[in-house]
Structure formats: C-alpha cells, structure tokens
Chains A and B, each alone.
Chain A
C-alpha cells in the first residue's frame, strides 16, 4: 500500500480481555515504531523495531504489553488483561532507518470499558 495501515481503526473491549493491534508498514521500511497517545497529549514511545528485532523494550508500560514483527514487515502489539488506563490511541510509524522521517498510520483508538 501507499502508506502505513493500522487495524482495527477502533476497538472497544471489556476490562481484562486481551487485544491485538496490527500495523502494516510501508514496503521496504526497516524501522517500525509504536507510540501511545492519550487524549490531547503528546506521543509516548513504546517500542522500536529494526528489521525483526527490538533493541529496546523499556518503553512498554508493563509486562502486559508485548510486540513482535515478522518478516521485517507486519507488526502486532498485544495488550493482555487490559485495564481502563490502557485506553488511548495507539500509533504505528515506519521509516527507512534511524533519523529518517517517520510515516504514521491513523492509529487504533482503544477503549476499555
């Protein structure tokens, strides 16, 4: 596709359920980022992938959060046992490498009831 695609665009789930968010980066982009944006706030860095490896997972808020990337392309962010404070917009971005401009998807708006 022409841009970064994220799915689903909206997700409403009950507290305690697991959710999986998907990101399809721009073809050929080796770097992939996940961010979290709470209402009216800036972006909170979660994790970065270079190829399939994530050199630093320290941005993940808790051990309920995990992410993987396969084939140097699609990435999934999984949140287990969701809590209400997990409600936010989760944004994915890809770039050609470190220091290059990031291209963002439109995000997944996650609401935990």
Chain B
C-alpha cells in the first residue's frame, strides 16, 4: 500500500475555520513534504519538515511530525475559499531519490 496515507480523504469546512489533515507512513524517513494541488494543475510545494524536526510554520500553515508514531499533520488556520484543493504528503528516505506520495485529502472551504 502507499507509504503515505492521508486522513480524512475529504474535508469540508466554512471559511475562517481551521483545517487539519493527517498523514501516516510506514518506514523510516529522512524528510516529509506537503504539497497542494488545485484541480487540473500540478502540485505546489508547501513545506518540508526533516526527521529531526517536530514542528514547522509557514504563514497560516503549521506542520508537525511525530516519528515515533510515523505520522504528520498539516494545519491550515483561518481557511479561505482559495485554500480549496487536494493536499498530499510525500515521504523521502535517506539515500534514495524516490518520494512516495499519499492518496491526498480533498479540502473544500465554503465561502
């Protein structure tokens, strides 16, 4: 199965609310990245967190990483309609080039 699996598969919230997405993975990683994909477009890199980091912020984004639980979460605060997209986590392992992408969370922010 996929190395990264996001939860929930779909999420619908009101504008202004916070959105939390989770990613679980199976093997040891070197880093974990989150990407956003708008419909019909390619993926856009949001944030990278390394295995020795626990939390990282970028604007309205907050990412946490718990290597003991092999999980990560992405929090989007004060969501906007423009945040409507699919969000994917991607895990990279040390010494390899291959990134494994999860199945994604489809976020819908209602205005």
Contact = CB atoms under 8 A, between A and B. Distances in A.
Interface of A: 4, 31, 33, 35, 41-43, 45, 48, 50, 55-56, 59, 91, 93, 98-99, 101-107
B6 to A, nearest CB: 8
A16 B90 CA distance: 34
Contacts of A103: 45
B31 A106 contact: no
B41 A106 contact: yes
B20 interface: no
B42 interface: yes
Contact of A106 (B33, B35, B40, B92): B40
B78 to A, nearest CB: 24
Interface stretch (B11-19, B61-69, B98-106): B98-106
Contact of A104 (B42, B96, B103, B104): B42
Contacts of B82: none
B21 to A, nearest CB: 13
Nearest to B48: A101
Interface string B33-46: 10100001111110
B42 A42 contact: no
Contact of B33 (A35, A55, A101): A101
B43 A104 contact: yes
A42 B43 contact: no
Interface string B70-105: 000000000000000000101010001111111110
B97 A98 contact: yes
A45 B35 CA distance: 15
B27 interface: no
Task: Among B31, B92, B101, find the residue whose CB has the most chain A CB atoms closer than 10 A.
Answer: B101
Contacts of B44: 104
A91 B44 CA distance: 12
A91 B101 CA distance: 13
A39 to B, nearest CB: 11
B42 A107 contact: yes
